[in-house]
Amino acid sequence: MAADTSQQPELIAALTNDAPLIIHWLESLGMMFDKHPDGRMKVRHGGGTCRKRMHSAGDMTGAEIMRVLRDEARNRTGKIKILEFTPAVELILDDKGNAAGAVLYNLETKEYYVARARAVVIATGGFGRLHIQGFPTTNHYGATADGVVMAYRAGVALQDLDSTQYHPTGAIFPEQNVGLLITEKVRGLGAQLLNIEGEQFCFPLEPRDVESACVIRECMEIGKGIITPTGRHGVWLDSPMIDMLHGEGTVRKELPAKFIQFKRYDIDISKVPMLIYPTLHYQNGGIRINEWAETSVKGLFSAGEVAGGVHGRNRLMGNSLLDVLVFGRRAGLRAIEHVKSSKAAGKLSLGHVEKFNKEIDKAGIDNGIQSPLILPNYAPDHVRARQIGQGSKN
């Protein structure tokens, strides 16, 4: 791969240096990593790696991380206040241009609130639900780039937002599973990609951009894809190969979530292959941060998929779950320091939003797009017309 100049070395140093600490911390919270019988951590190859370094918890690593983190937050009831269904819709700055809080919107009561804060951390995730280039996505419904929009209006520096990651193996059959992620671990365990002739057409563990391009070319240019009953193009991912290589029952044991997900539709992926095509997976760029998760606005921090610079323009597998924890922790530590050392915020202001709106008017832009979007509306027009209070075009 060509050198990626948008990747910031100081962020990679933070990521790699903090990695052992994060793994140790997760273990101490009770996370169940995949291990050998003698207690050693299992490590595997992912696409584009020269060393085995992927840690996992079945095929539900993210869910397992969230299980222990959520418990930890709940166990500290009283110290951590959680507001559900109340997204941030705008950042608030003070008269010196420092972060001073956010405007929140209660989705149930439809009321707005002002949350004052001397430190604000943006960690709103990626932009998969914008369905860039019309691709389905692996992302949850809230992945609509809200953090990027709010930061942009506050004048925060952004980077590499034109760079998007498509995961090569998104399900395309059955229709209910379209866009669903088929984890890289499947190929890590030995499953190959096959065209309609049963031929292997690329090495299965290329980086995601290369692998995705191979699949798209095989379907759209070479014409050796498989077409589903609804007209989607894809290739086979031969999961039964895994049991042949590692013994009967491996698919069920190593990939329990995917096994159940397909079994619901009477498809046994240890016996029949899956049909896949690339799916929109990850926002490579985002809010520009330094190694302490600080943005260009004082008191404003950012961490996770919404931030750019850690992975450059092409993330390698497995690095995001590490990224969110390394920079989430760093953002938290720095935010505490900032709060202790800074004076109370000055006069609260939404002047940056007014300025942004004036610039939009001046440029004559009126595209009717609502932003931040919060949640996309998938209802077709005729259904939307019947929805109460749904004036939005989005």
Ligand X SMILES: Cc1cc2nc3c(=O)[nH]c(=O)nc-3n(C[C@H](O)[C@H](O)[C@H](O)COP(=O)(O)OP(=O)(O)OC[C@H]3O[C@@H](n4cnc5c(N)ncnc54)[C@H](O)[C@@H]3O)c2cc1C
Rounded to a whole number of angstroms, the minimum distance from the CB of residue 393 to ligand X is 19
**H helix or E strand, kind and range, residue 43:** none
Q: Which residue in 134, 125, 142, 238 sits closest to 178, CA to CA?
A: 134
Measured from the CB atom, is 68 or 226 closer to ligand X? 68
Rounded to a whole number of angstroms, the minimum distance from the CB of residue 179 to ligand X is 9
Measured from the CB atom, is 186 or 226 closer to ligand X? 186
Our measurement of the distance from residue 394's CA atom to the centroid of its chain's CA atoms, rounded to an integer in Å, reads: 21
Measured from the CB atom, is 11 or 324 closer to ligand X? 324
Catalytic residue among 44, 118, 129, 187: 187
Q: Rounded to an integer, what distance in angstroms lies between the CA atom of residue 54 and that of residue 287?
A: 26
Q: Rounded to an integer, what distance in angstroms lies between the CA atom of residue 110 and that of residue 200?
A: 53
Q: Which amino acid is at 240?
A: P
**H helix or E strand, kind and range, residue 100:** strand 99-105
- Here the tokens at position 233 are 């193009």
Q: Rounded to an integer, what distance in angstroms lies between the CA atom of residue 239 and that of residue 254?
A: 11
Measured from the CB atom, is 61 or 192 closer to ligand X? 61
Rounded to a whole number of angstroms, the minimum distance from the CB of residue 375 to ligand X is 9
Cα distances (angstroms) measured from residue 321 to each of 12, 19, 86, 303, 356: 14, 10, 24, 11, 33
Rounded to a whole number of angstroms, the minimum distance from the CB of residue 237 to ligand X is 16
282, 170 Cβ separation under 8 angstroms: no
202 phi, psi to nearest 5 deg: -160, 160
Alpha helices per DSSP H over 48-145: 61-75
Measured from the CB atom, is 3 or 82 closer to ligand X? 82
Q: Is 382 a residue of the active site?
A: no
258, 269 Cβ separation under 8 angstroms: yes
What is the torsion angle, in degrees rounded to the nearest 10, for the CA atoms of residue 40, residue 44, residue 50 and residue 51? 0
- Here the tokens at position 209 are 């951009």
Q: Which residue has the tokens 């260009």?
A: 296
Measured from the CB atom, is 85 or 340 closer to ligand X? 85
How many H helices and E strands in the chain?
11, 14
Q: Which residue in 281, 56, 315 sits closest to 186, CA to CA?
A: 56
Rounded to a whole number of angstroms, the minimum distance from the CB of residue 364 to ligand X is 28
Rounded to a whole number of angstroms, the minimum distance from the CB of residue 222 to ligand X is 28
41 phi, psi to nearest 5 deg: -70, 135
Rounded to a whole number of angstroms, the minimum distance from the CB of residue 271 to ligand X is 24
Measured from the CB atom, is 12 or 196 closer to ligand X? 12
Rounded to a whole number of angstroms, the minimum distance from the CB of residue 128 to ligand X is 7
Measured from the CB atom, is 140 or 393 closer to ligand X? 140
Q: Rounded to an integer, what distance in angstroms lies between the CA atom of residue 37 and that of residue 286?
A: 41
250, 189 Cβ separation under 8 angstroms: yes
Catalytic residue among 44, 55, 153, 167: 167
Q: Is 193 left (phi over 0), alpha (psi -120 to 50) or beta?
A: beta
Q: Rule CB under 6 A: which residues touch ligand X? A: 61-62, 87-88, 123-125, 138-139, 142-143, 146, 181, 282, 304-306, 318-321, 324, 372
Q: Is 167 a residue of the active site?
A: yes
Residues annotated as catalytic (active site), given as ranges:
167, 187
